[in-house]
Every structure is written in structure tokens, then in C-alpha cells.
Amino acid sequence: AQINPYLGIDGLRFLRQFSPAAEVLERLRRTDPCMSQRQCAVIDSKGRTACWTGEKCLPWAGSIAGEQCCVQGNRLKGREVLEAACEGYERSAHLPLVERLMEAIAAGDAQGGDRHGESSATVYVVDNEEYPLWDIRVDHHPDPFAELRRLHDVFARDVVPEILAMSTRANPAGAAEEDSI
């Protein structure tokens, strides 16, 4: 699918207005004249999901809504990739969100993943702030999931603690305020 980063940015803004998932997806569809080439999924604070796969996405393309999750993809080997990713996510319910996402990616990859061979992988998680807590991206790599796992470990050890110390809306000084006391 062709990427429109504003679908994510605007989707989060619409969700912050406490809109249900289906309403957010409909609002997003009205903002983009090329939705036939896009995939978009929304999960609201109550776990309701709404998914979209445009008819011009490269086959195999689709989505599956699971329990408080949805997975989607295009250029996939088939629906079984999404089923495996969804099962990987649901099976790891005891783990933190970022770990569950990694499990889902691994399960989908093990089922055949992208039929043209992946060269990229991304984990992007926005928590309580407008900026991401996890933002790990691998592009044009011969083994993108292995590199994503390596970067995840570095990120968890070195970067997430720094992000957690950053300014927040509730505490604009962040950890700097604590350091000055």
C-alpha cells in the first residue's frame, strides 16, 4: 500500500477526541483522496477495531481484527500470514505491547511474510504522549527482523529510559526538574 503518514497522525488526534474506531476510520477516509491505495487500522480505547484495505493495494492484501488488535498487510503470501501474526500477538498477552508486536512480526514472518521478500521492518508505539515511546525502523536490510530485534534490545536498554525522562504534557521539565532538586 502507498503510505500516508498523516493517517496515523490524524488518527491519533481523532482518537484523543474520544471517537470510536469506526468513526475515526471514516473520518480518515474522508481526508485522503487515494484511500484505494491505502491500508489503515484503528483500535480505540475500548478495544474496538476498524480496518481498511483499499482495492488497489497489491495482492495478497487484507486485514484481520482480533481481540483488541488488528493486523494487516499487502504483498503477502496469503491470509495465513495475518492469521499467524494475530495468533502471535494474542498468544503473548502477558508481555508488554512492544514485545507483543515483535512476536506478531516474527510469527507472520515465519509463515512466509511478504511474498517478494521483506527488506524493511518497523515498530512504532505511541503511549501517553504525542511523541512515540518506541520508534525503531529498519530499511533495506537483508534480514530486517533480526536487525529489528537487535535494535529493539539497544533501544530498550539505552533509548527508552531517556524517552521516559523527557518532558511530558503533565511535567514539562521532565527528569530535569528532579535533577535540579
How far is residue 27's CA from residue 47's CA, in Å, rounded to a whole number? 18
37-47 confidence digits (pLDDT tens)? 999 999 999 99
119-161 confidence digits (pLDDT tens)? 889 999 999 898 999 999 999 999 999 999 999 999 999 999 9
Cell 491505502 locates to: 38
How far is residue 83's CA from residue 85's CA, in Å, rounded to a whole number? 5
Q: Does the pLDDT of residue 86 top 90, yes or no?
A: yes
Question: What ranges do the domains of the chain cover?
Answer: 118-171
Lowest mean per-residue pLDDT among 45-49, 87-91, 97-101, 126-130? 126-130
Q: In which band, very low, low, confident or very high, does the pLDDT at 179 lie, cut at 50, 70 and 90?
A: low
58-82 confidence digits (pLDDT tens)? 999 999 988 789 999 999 999 999 9
**In degrees, to the nearest 5, what angle opens at C-alpha 104 toward C-alphas 94 and 106?**
115
How far is residue 117's CA from residue 94's CA, in Å, rounded to a whole number? 30
11-20 confidence digits (pLDDT tens)? 999 999 988 9
How far is residue 133's CA from residue 153's CA, in Å, rounded to a whole number? 14
Q: Does the pLDDT of residue 172 top 80, yes or no?
A: yes
